[in-house]
Structures are given as C-alpha cells and as structure tokens.
A and B are shown apart, each in its own frame.
Chain A
C-alpha cells in the first residue's frame, strides 16, 4: 500500500505500522511538524518528559521490560545532544531504541544555523547506526530499516535525523513489507558441529558452569525458558552477570547468584576453578574478569554470542559459537538429549560439594543493627514484602545498585532494569517511568541512591502528569556511597567531594509534585513504611535513611583475580596494590 503524505505524517504512520504505542519526547522548533501530526491522531501516546536524557532512559525501561523497541522524539541541537548519554547507555547494554531528532532544513545544514548540531556526527559513536534523511521519498523505507537494525542481531539504539523541510515535504509512503533489509541479516543459527562439540564437553566435564549475560534476555523469553530446561536437566551450576539476572530464576536450585566485582563468593570461585565455562550471551566485561591473565586459568571456554566482535575480544575462547542464544540453546538441548542426556555424575557431585563449601562462607552476611537501618536489611525487607508480586525493579548506579543485585531475587526475565555497561547515575528513575508506562498496573520500584536520584529528579512532573505510580526507594546514606567506598579503601579515607550536601526534604519535595512522601529511619518502622509505599495508589518518594558508612562486599578490587576477594572491611589487604580503575 502506498500513498502521498508529508514527511511528518510518514513518521507517525511508520510508527503505527511498526506496532509502536508509545513515544517519549520533547518538542522544539525543528520537530514541530511531527508534533502537529501527533496532535492529530490517537493511536500513539506521547509521554512528555522534562529532559531529553530522561526520554531515552524511559524508552530503555520500556524496551527492556517489554522486549519491544523503545521510541524517542527530540528536537535538533540541544534536544539531540541531551539524548547522547541515553544513547550511549543503550548501546553499551544492547537496548533496541529508535530515536528521531529534528534537524535544521537541508539548505541550512552546515551554516551553523540556530539549534544546528552535527547530530549524525555526534551520535555516530553512540548508536548502532544512524541516518540523516535528506530525500523525503526515502523516509518511510529508512524508518522501517531503522526498526529492523535496532531489533535484529545484537540490538541497539539507532537514530534518524530529520531536517525540517523533509518533514514538510510530500512523498509516497511505503509500508514495512517493502523495505529493503536483506543486506543486514545477522546469523542466528549456530554451527551444528560446534554445538555437538560443546555437548561432548558437557558430557565429560567435571566442573562445568554456565555463565550467562544480557544476551539471554535480549534473545527473548523462549531463550530463558530453554536455559532453565538445560540447566535443570544437566544439573550444572549457573551464574549470571548484572545484565542477565532473571533469565534463570533466583529460586532455582542451581543458582549461584551474580558474579563479578561485587558478585557472590561461590559464583566467582566456581568461575575461577571450573574446567568448562559455557558463556551464553555475556561479554567478559572487566567487572567480571578481574585480572585477565588470571581469569579462570584452567578451564576450557565456550562462548555463544550473536556479535562476532564480542568473541575473543578480551578472553581467548576455545569454542566460539556465533548465533542467537535461543536458537543455539534449542539445538544444544536437542543434541544433548539425542546423545543420551549424559553428564559426568561423579565429577558433578564433587563439584557441588566444593560449591556448597564456598556457600558456607555466607558472603553476604553483614552486621545488622536495632537502631540504624542497614541498606542490606532494607532490601531484604523489600524483597520479603514484595516477593509474590509480579514486580519490576530499576536501579540507579552505586552501592545500592550492587546491594539490589545481591539481595533481590529475580524469577523472570525483563523484570530487572539497570545501567550495566555505562553505569549511568540518573538512569533508574526515568527508566522506572518507562516501565510503568508499559505495565500500568504493575508494581514498579526504583532502588536509588540519593545522589543518583537527584540527577533526573525533574521527571517527578512526568510521573504526576501521566499518573505513573512509580515507587522511588531511596537508600539515603547522604553519601556518594560507591565513591566514598573507594576513597575509604584506596585513598586513605580522604573523602573528597563524596558527601551529598544540601539534600532536599524529600517528603516536602514529594508533596510539592502531588506525590506521597515517606521518610523512615527506625528499623522497627521499616516494614509498615514499605507496605504503605506498596499499597499507595500513586507515585511515592521513599526516603530510607540508612547507615552512612556501610561498604559493599564481597568485592574483587579492580585488576585482582577472582580468588582474591575482599569479604569484609579488610582495608589493609586491599591497599596491597589494587589497580586504580
């Protein structure tokens, strides 16, 4: 089907044809024609944000919690540059986004016109791909290609820069089916010989481990289902990166917990001592590997990834399998079953006894208090009181984020939204709004630090305006806690600029936006306060005043191997020469 319409109308039509129901954005001169087209329809809901960075994080929350691409609309110049942090965040965490930016008219490009920025130039390094559309007759096809690129292969953000005259011009609209996408078709099926080789190794391995990442979540819910089947059937232990939490349920019997810098002792030691490491959609990030030379020195490593550049980038692996996790897991299960469902039972038995020994260390234990709320305790109570619900958690960045990953359990994929690769303070609050918009009736909680939360606090107005009943659970230690922790451990306790000074009265702040504000400092009142937050029908700002000097353990200092882990405030051992990254 094709018909004449303006560029602005095409944008809206293409969004509808792509099944988009929500777009996050902020208007300005260079996108007024598109805003006019949005005004004249009711199929696509526009969420008016208060800052473009937040629009991108909202779209990330929307995308991560639904598996669909998130959409954003911003104006030229400052609108586009404000989106850059969000784009970089989405690129690092492989979140599919389609971002539209306005641009000065084509005849003004290059003249330093008002609100002109070289948006495709600026965002080239922080998008999977981007386009400047100068020819209106190419617009509809470009938008459909953009959706294809954002969502296929390793997902990521894409940007389409739209000069204002192109938005006004008329041309023929073409639908998604006719769009040319054949030259970008990443391989999804894994090599069967390689998969068989992996099965052979799984049959004999004495100390195997699954090491899973965000790729499993991105591959879709079927991949998580297959993973559960494979893990439970083989009886192999499984650990996950921060990005992969929820793919295998935290209540599952083979779950070791998260690995990495603040991962669990048993997970990290199992990675260090395994003889077969099966990496599914993780990328050997430096927060995972620690010192590369000492990373899991005696294991044979298999790596399944849809992105060839992730394979052998940091760790040389023995068995690379290029393909989509879901497809590869399906074949892996088939082959393993067909060959008689074999595992090395004796080896596995010994392996689990070793792991059970490590678990006895109880690496997450902390000293609780009757008078001060410990951040870990607050999260344990939140976990307990929200467990049965279909709950969505977002986080900011800092100690609270790591404690949330340690103390909350995720039973399903797409329920955990956090900024992993970029570590963007200010991500969690807008992301929680994006999640809530996608799941209006769900319980959506952002686990925040007070400092991170302030970075995008302007979005309170957005939550109020669109009746998003998001719960902001602030673990308020009046510190840039993670910075303070490093200064404590590495810089002789010289706490340079790591206080959160001049904090607002969060209850009054909440009320001024029509929210509910709750403040709690007594551990005995915590449960009631949490219940009040959960049951309140509207957005809540929960100011949880916690211990100010708690450090987050376990911790593998940067540049140390996995088996060199700090379990408590053993600062002396720590100072013995950790790399300063």
Chain B
C-alpha cells in the first residue's frame, strides 16, 4: 500500500478520488426520477425496488411535460449511503429513465404532501377538530352536521402530527398523495 502513495478516504466527491468506507447509517432520501411517459415505466421502477429488496416509503407520479412525454416520479426511500448509490445507479440503467436526482444530497429541497382527513364527531370534539385544523392551516373542503373533510398541505412530518391529533377526535379516513419535492433555488 505504501508504495502507491494513496490516502484512503479522501473527502473530495470527485468521481475518482479514493473514498471513505460508506457509513452504515440508514437515512431517508428523496429521489426525483424523470422518465419517458410510456406504458410500463412505473412498473419497471417499482419492480426494481421489489426485485432488489429496496424500501419505498412514498411514491408519487404524474406527467409533467405533455409535449415532451415526460413524467416525474418522486420516491422516498431509506438506506445506507451505499444502498442509495446502488438504487440511483439501478434506476439510471432503466432505458426510459432520463434523469435521477437525489434531492437529499444534491441540494436542499422543498418537500410537500397533500392529505385529506375525514373527521366525524359532534359537540366538544367537533369544535376542537376545527380549532386544530385552523392552527395547522388545514382547509375545510366538505362538511356535514357530523363530519368534516380537511385538506392539509405540508411536510410529511406535519401531516403525521395532524393525524395524531385528529385520531382521538374521530378520525375516520385518510388519503395522502405522497411526497412531491423540488430543489430550492435555480
């Protein structure tokens, strides 16, 4: 080793510098995958995750450029640095995948999720639900004498917190979109 004059574990992130052993800590990463909008492309992405044993915590997909036939898939996954690097490389290998971005490491990103909550109840609980919804800036998008449907947007943590608060107040049903994310700045 000495004869090679090489330091292991250089901190530079260039493609060829000697790297440190990857840490074993698992972390949540948000990946943005820009794909050709063609049949089966979502199945390929999901098949990759199930076939190779990776986790999907959240997944959203929609066409973002009708003329260019591209869709954006946002995936929240979890793994060690080495696993995330593998996931990125494996995604990049799928033929209709144009770009893969790790929004957790490449840049700071804004992440938002939209959720709908149906809360049923009367009296004190109903009033309390409405008061908390106001604090969380949730909108009432439907109401009956016994129920509300709230619409809330925010980070996944915020939505989790809102769900916790609604549960004792008569939470009946939840629909969440999963995370949409964009890098900050230009």
Contact = CB atoms under 8 A, between A and B. Distances in A.
A202 to B, nearest CB: 10
Interface residues of A, number: 39
Interface string B1-32: 10111101000001110110110000000000
B6 A300 contact: yes
A128 B90 CA distance: 12
B6 A316 contact: no
B3 A149 contact: no
Interface stretch (B43-51, B115-123, B133-141): B43-51
A276 B51 CA distance: 34
A194 B19 CA distance: 13
B16 A197 contact: yes
Nearest to A128: B95
Contact of A125 (B19, B47, B90): B47
Contact of B93 (A125, A201, A309): A309
Interface in A528-547: none
A129 B82 contact: no
A197 B92 CA distance: 26
Interface string A245-274: 000000000000000000000000000000
B92 A309 contact: yes
Nearest to B15: A191
A308 B92 contact: yes
A572 interface: no
B39 interface: yes
Contacts of A312: 82, 85-86, 89
Given A298-B1, A309-B89, A124 B40 contact: yes
Contact of B15 (A128, A320, A344): A320
A309 B92 CA distance: 8
A121 B1 CA distance: 49
A313 B3 contact: no
Interface of B: 1, 3-6, 8, 14-16, 18-19, 21-22, 36, 39-40, 43-44, 47, 51, 82, 85-86, 89-90, 92-96, 98
14 contacts: A128-B95, A130-B40, A183-B98, A191-B16, A204-B5, A275-B4, A300-B1, A300-B8, A309-B89, A313-B89, A318-B18, A318-B19, A320-B15, A321-B15
Closest 10 CB pairs of A and B: A194-B16, A309-B89, A129-B95, A308-B89, A318-B18, A206-B3, A309-B90, A197-B16, A204-B3, A309-B93
